[in-house]
Chain A
């Protein structure tokens, strides 16, 4: 019975997740700030409000893949199962945010650039990033034995991260039609956002980061429970033999 309780604990904590509800409330508050508090952009009009979901989704994607990189490195140093599970969960949630990042960009591009997609350096490198981490998840799903999947995906998790600085700096290094950074270390002061817009953007980044940690925690708990169940089933099979 104690064993079953131990197994159920992470699942129960995930199901009754207070944090998920809090993230939902924060998302609604974020919508209020974006649509009712932030001023309308004089040049682009309302379409500029896509920025408040596009940029935070990009930030969370980079952060998620940075966690994947750190955890994969930790996995190679310590052979830690926990690191592997965090990397797996982070890559999956990161792919979700990258998909939102890409799709919101595509939807923004049509009215502003007149096309859904163009092979601009920023767009292309972002698509490559999405493909790399999709490959990571595919390797996890199809590599066969657990240990082999862990090793191969860790290699992709480490090597794939080297694309992230390229995605970030692509608007600086190459000629691009993508807008230049308006916040962050590489931003141009002459291109800075007005204060209310900048505050709205920072709030959105905060909300998306909270949501990322909530989803990461739930996914990690599920992966941990799955792993424990697999170990117990293996042990009981060995005992029978």
Chain B
């Protein structure tokens, strides 16, 4: 969870820096629109990766349990 929040915070900072440097009436605020959707997709991806990592850890724990049970 901490990783997700940190990633999103970094991303927003980057987007805001980019938006500050690029924004003009001619760009029609598209950079803000892009930033918002980037945050959405990145948020989901980071969370899904977090879930997958948890699953991997569980799998290895189960394998260790299997070995312990087999020995006993």
> Which residues of A does B touch, CB under 8 Å?
3-4, 7-8, 11, 14-15, 20, 27, 31, 45-47, 49-50, 53-54, 57, 92-93, 95-96, 99-100, 103-104, 106-108, 110-111, 116, 137, 211, 215, 218-219, 222, 225-226, 229, 232-233, 236
A47 close to B29 (CB less than 8 A): yes
Tally of contact residues, B, Cβ under 8 A: 36
A203 to B37, CA, bound (A): 16
User: Taking the nearest CB of chain A, how far is it from the CB of B71, in angstroms?
Assistant: 11
A4 close to B1 (CB less than 8 A): no
A219 close to B32 (CB less than 8 A): no
B48 close to A46 (CB less than 8 A): no
B29 close to A211 (CB less than 8 A): no
Majority DSSP secondary structure for residues of A touching B: helix
A133 to B69, CA, bound (A): 39
Nearest residue, chain B, Cβ from A138? B1
11 residue pairs bridging A and B, Cβ less than 8 Å apart = A3-B69, A4-B66, A7-B65, A31-B37, A47-B32, A54-B36, A96-B47, A104-B40, A106-B12, A215-B51, A226-B58
Which residues 35-55 in B have Cβ within 8 Å of A in the complex? 35-37, 39-40, 43-44, 47-48, 51-52, 54-55
B33 close to A49 (CB less than 8 A): yes
Contacts of A107 in B (CB 8 A): 12, 15-16, 19, 32, 35-36, 39
A118 to B40, CA, bound (A): 22
CB < 8 Å: which of B5, B19, B43, B55 contacts A110?
A: B19
A11 close to B33 (CB less than 8 A): no
A116 to B40, CA, bound (A): 18
> Which residues of B does A touch, CB under 8 Å?
1, 4-5, 8, 12, 15-16, 19, 23, 28-30, 32-33, 35-37, 39-40, 43-44, 47-48, 51-52, 54-55, 58-59, 61-62, 65-66, 68-69, 72
CB < 8 Å: which of A103, A110, A229 contacts B61?
A: A229
B36 close to A50 (CB less than 8 A): yes
Contacts of A95 in B (CB 8 A): 1
User: Taking the nearest CB of chain A, how far is it from the CB of B57, in angstroms?
Assistant: 9
Q: A229-B58, A229-B62, A236-B68 are in contact. Are A20 and B48 (CB under 8 A)?
A: yes
B32 close to A108 (CB less than 8 A): yes
A204 to B40, CA, bound (A): 13
User: Taking the nearest CB of chain A, how far is it from the CB of B66, in angstroms?
Assistant: 5
A142 to B13, CA, bound (A): 29
Nearest residue, chain B, Cβ from A4? B66
B12 close to A11 (CB less than 8 A): no
B16 close to A110 (CB less than 8 A): yes
